[in-house]
Amino acid sequence: MKTLFSGIQPSGGAPSLGNYVGALRNWVKLQERYFCVYSIVDMHAITIRHDAAELRKNCRDMLAFLIATGIDPEASVLYYQSAVPAHAELAWILNCYTYMGELSRMTQFKEKSKKHQDNINAGLFTYPVLQAADILLYNAGFVPVGEDQRQHLELSRDIAIRFNNMYGDVFTVPEALIPESGAKIKNLQDPSRKMSKSDGDGDQGVIYMLDPPDSIASKIKRAVTDSESEVRYSETKPGVSNLLDIYSVFTDKTIAEAEKDFAGVKYGPFKNAVAETVAAALSAIQSRYREISADSAYLDKVIASNTPRAAAIAEKTLKAVKERIGFPL
């Protein structure tokens, strides 16, 4: 099986419904076709100011959540990035093969610099090099990416090719794995934007994976629709179309089938049905999350068994890099 790498930041709280549908649900499916290395990238999380105890808790919570969604820590490698020193060591080496001009063109650096003007640190600038190290350490042939990460993956490819041209084939040059076409869940209050934890709209437009049924119902009840009353999928009806996308995802129905379910149905009952469908689908994940979170011994065991697995792969690659560039062994 070819290797696939992906990482997720422990940003605190449960992921949004948009993140689950767009990424994490796909991670579970990818385990069937690839040897998957999934990292909780806590080193990336410190590019902005944070509370130490909160970060530690967020990492633990994310570990429990990923397992609850269906990530198998025996089939896949699931670990904390900071627990494998090779990430930081390779990142430093790759910094020396990355150009300032390349990093200065990174869109995310520009965006985050605007948001955190009091903390434009070097780590924020070189973040993409650490991301390249994350991927290249595991000889990942594939990386699932959305549009917001495509630029970083292209830089990872450029660094790998540049290094290989200088020292021979050391790194696998990763390819983007574009998610299968499907729903892109939008903000309930503004369906022109994706549903994201960073929306800053008071959370009314975002459903979180651990939201209780009454919260889900309240948010969907307040979801923006339009002045019509027909449940129909159309570019001119983005709010209704978004709710149909959500319904189709969690019922495994096509949009045409979903439209048929609500033929002649008013928006009120339609929203109630969507809310009930989402709450029912999330209940199993929520129950599993609570069970796993309460089992500290199990989580400790997952990390204790997976960290050496990750380190063994990473250190083998790092050793090859050190040999090629001439470090004493």
Other C-beta atoms closer than 10 Å to the C-beta of 81 total 22
Cβ contacts of 193 within 8 Å, gap of 6 or more: 186, 187, 199
| DSSP state, residue 169 | S
Q: How many C-beta atoms lie closer than 10 Å to residue 228's C-beta? A: 12
Active site residue 194: yes
Q: How far apart are CA 261 and CA 269, in angstroms?
A: 11
Angle (nearest 5°) at CA 139 between 37 and 73: 15
Provide the 3-class DSSP secondary structure of residue 8.
strand
- Known active-site residue 112: yes
What the block records as the tokens of 42 is: 């806590």
Annotated catalytic residue, options 2, 29, 110, 112:
112
Which residue in 184, 197, 221, 253 is the catalytic one? 197
What residue ranges in 9-110 does DSSP mark as E strands? 35-40, 77-80
The residue from 194, 219, 237, 271 that is catalytic is 194
User: Is 151 strand, coil or helix?
Assistant: helix
Q: Is 197 a catalytic residue?
A: yes
268 torsion bin: left (phi>0), alpha (psi -120 to 50), beta (else): alpha
Amino acid letter at 288?
Answer: R
Name residue 16's beta-bridge partners.
208
CA distances from 323 to 5, 47, 167, 189 (A): 24, 31, 10, 54
Kindly list the catalytic residues.
112, 194, 197
